[in-house]
Amino acid sequence: MQRILQPGEIEALDNTSFPRVRLPQVASLFAERAARLRQLAVDNPIADYLLFVAKIVDAQHQAQASLVLDTPDAALMQRAQQHSMPLLPAAEHLDPAWHQVLEAMIETLGASNALPEPLQPLLQELAALGVEERNDIAIKLLQKEVAARHVGMAPFIMAAVQVVLAKRASSLDARDVPYTDPASICPVCAGEPVASVLRIGGQAAGHRYLHCGSCCTEWHMVRVKCSHCESTKGIRYQGIEGAGDGLVAETCDECSSYRKLSNQEKDPLAEPLADDLASLTLDLLMSETRFRRASANPLLYVAFAEEQDDDSDELIDPAA
């Protein structure tokens, strides 16, 4: 028996109508990320660091629950839409509520003895900083200027800023988010993607999204396109031999950069930021090639100078 399709059903059949922008679900974002970090810590050479970051992410989760933000300025957003500019660039519109988040996170981390002993003074130093000084560091971090003396506190500051940015992004309507040029920066906060992810589930399935390292918004970019310079030529993939192709480095011959791509079809729990952090081995191997990371992981500013003790890992091209 044939019947006429209803409008909603027609859209569901049209596989071109997938979400262009996936705004963060802030109520579950950090909890899922923390769980993923703990999962990836098992048998990981940087397990201690991942477990430490998981505690920071727990504190982010706790802080977002009580956070109430002002509604973003509608006129400001309208101007951005007219000019195809990111809706609310983070460095220009940093909600002062981030200080309150940082305070809450310092308290949570301090009270739970979550931090390794050597990092305790860092937390005290951070707590002692004035509002202006903190603002100054946060804005410099968002503009990718990290002073050597702030490297240690950078992940805490970025974590607090991220809570505010993700909460604000989660309150937006995806339809209000403009197409921006270049397409390699976040259309909400102008941040850089930390990594990209091939999604499963719902209409996003089979599509590649770039994941903002600052506000955690995801936006669609076709596959086999450089997420840094948008070249469609000279894109290749490199992974670690024997580790499968669930996570690979997407390299670009044009701009000599790489960014990681995790594939939920291979690992349904893949979470871009956590997976990027946990695959530091791949970065170490990539550092021996001519490709450079396109952007940093906001929760990793610590320079890992230690030599890798296990040199059995080798880079392979999974497509080969």
Question: Which residues sit at the interface with Zn ion, rule CB under 5 A?
Answer: 186, 188-189, 191, 212, 214-215, 217, 226, 228-229, 231, 252, 254-255
The residue among 44 and 184 lying less far from Zn ion, judged by its C-beta, is 184
Which amino acid appears at position 243 of this protein?
A
Q: What string of H, E and C letters represents the secondary structure of the chain?
A: CCCCCCHHHHHHHCCCCCCCEECCCHHHHHHHHHHHHHHHHCCCCCHHHHHHHHHHHHHHHHHHHCCCCCCCCHHHHHHHHHCCCCCCCCCCCCCCHHHHHHHHHHHHHHHCCCCCHHHHHHHHHHHHCCHHHHHHHHHHHHCCCCCHHHCCCHHHHHHHHHHHHHHHHHCCCHHHCCCCCCCCCCCCCCCCEEEEEECCCHHHCCCEEEEECCCCCEEECCCCCCCCCCCCCCEEEEEECCCCCCEEEEEECCCCEEEEEEECCCCCCCCHHHHHHHCHHHHHHHCCCCCEECCCCCCCCCCCCCCCCCCCCCEECCCC
Of the candidates 162, 171, 179, 159, the residue with the CA atom closest to the CA atom of residue 23: 171
- In the numeric block, which tokens belong to residue 308? 């890798």
Residue 237: CB minimum distance to Zn ion, A: 14
Residue 112: CB minimum distance to Zn ion, A: 29
The residue among 108 and 187 lying less far from Zn ion, judged by its C-beta, is 187
The residue among 35 and 229 lying less far from Zn ion, judged by its C-beta, is 229
The residue among 227 and 264 lying less far from Zn ion, judged by its C-beta, is 227
Residue 15: CB minimum distance to Zn ion, A: 27
Residue 166: CB minimum distance to Zn ion, A: 8
Of the candidates 55, 67, 68, the residue with the CA atom closest to the CA atom of residue 108: 55
The residue among 62 and 214 lying less far from Zn ion, judged by its C-beta, is 214
Residue 38: CB minimum distance to Zn ion, A: 25
The residue among 176 and 254 lying less far from Zn ion, judged by its C-beta, is 254
Residue 117: CB minimum distance to Zn ion, A: 34
Residue 186: CB minimum distance to Zn ion, A: 3
Residue 131: CB minimum distance to Zn ion, A: 23
The residue among 253 and 265 lying less far from Zn ion, judged by its C-beta, is 253
Which amino acid appears at position 35 of this protein?
A
CA within 13 Å, CB half, 233? 1
The residue among 163 and 189 lying less far from Zn ion, judged by its C-beta, is 189
**24 φ, ψ (degrees, to nearest 5):** -65, 145
Residue 217: CB minimum distance to Zn ion, A: 5
The residue among 197 and 215 lying less far from Zn ion, judged by its C-beta, is 215
Which residues touch 139 (CB under 8 Å, ≥6 apart)?
Answer: 91, 94
